[in-house]
Amino acid sequence: MEKNVPEAEPKSVEETARREFRDFVSEIEESLKAGEKRLEIPPGTLSGLHSEPDYMMVIKIIAAIEPTVNDLIAAGMSKGGGLGGTPNRILFAPVTDFAVDRLLLSGRAGKLELARRLDMLNKRDIAFAQSVAEIRNRYAHNIKNASRNFIDLVLEAEKNDFQISTKLFYGMKVTLKNMPNGFAKILLAWSFSKFLESAESRLHVPAGDFLGGLLGLSLSDQKDGDRAAKIQDDDI
């Protein structure tokens, strides 16, 4: 006689949503772990970002964006195009050193603009980095803000830039009013993971060829027109 095997009860909508949310957070953490390896920093420095105090999370993101942009500038100059398409047969090391060590991150003469001119960042990458820098400035220039929630500073910044939340969340239109601060931080971590993934797709300097590229001794004629980031630019 066959035993009746009870059918598994269907999972509730809440259980499914919780599982999908856990998977979403896990994917973010895996992406940030890959960023830790590329930046050669200790495990956990970035992958647990959403659990950090709000101001520390923002500061860490900026501290990771800066060296990433530096790498993008150096890689862009090593690809043979130079600025304005001029072949980099001159010694570019001093130019790269100047860009990396002296330029501000934002502004018309900043690192982000230089990386854009080298075709190493797209519009959404730059909008994200500039928006994080804006929130970082609000933390850095007023000690009273150190204990304030991330989402409160974004809402405050919206008074001057109504699109800042869209820029922070990579073109995703969200309503911040009544959103839990913890969820806003997870979305910020997701956006940061998108920035790192976008940067990684552009860093194609062959091992051992970096210095030669800077000196103009090893030029690459490979075109990067198929980069996924180009698709993102077209969507803007």
Q: What is the DSSP letter of 4?
A: P
> Which amino acid is located at 204 in the chain?
H
Give a yes or no: residue 11 inside a domain: no
Please give the Cα distance from 226 to 215 (Å, whole number).
26
Residue numbers of the domain that contains 216: 51-235
The pTM assigned to this predicted structure is: 0.74
Tell me the average pLDDT across 51-56: 95
pLDDT bin (cut points 50, 70, 90) of residue 33 is very high
**According to the model, what pLDDT value does residue 77 have?**
79
∠ CA 95-193-71, rounded to 5°: 15
Q: Is residue 196 part of a domain?
A: yes
Residue (of 52, 49, 54) closest to 147 by Cα position? 54
Q: What is the DSSP letter of 120?
A: -
Provide the domain count of the chain: 1
The answer to whether residue 193 is domain-embedded is yes
Give per-residue pLDDT as tens, 132-156.
Answer: 999 999 999 999 999 999 999 999 9
Which of the two residues, 130 and 217, has the higher pLDDT score?
A: 130
Angstrom distance (rounded) from CA 213 to CA 210: 5
Q: What's the confidence (pLDDT) of residue 32?
A: 95
Phi, psi of 178 (to 5 degrees): 70, 5
Mean pLDDT of all residues in 108-116: 83
Q: Read off the pLDDT of residues 153-185 as tens digits, 9 standing for 90 and up.
A: 999 999 999 999 999 999 898 889 899 999 999
CB 196 within 8 Å of CB 32: yes
Residue 29 lies in a domain: no
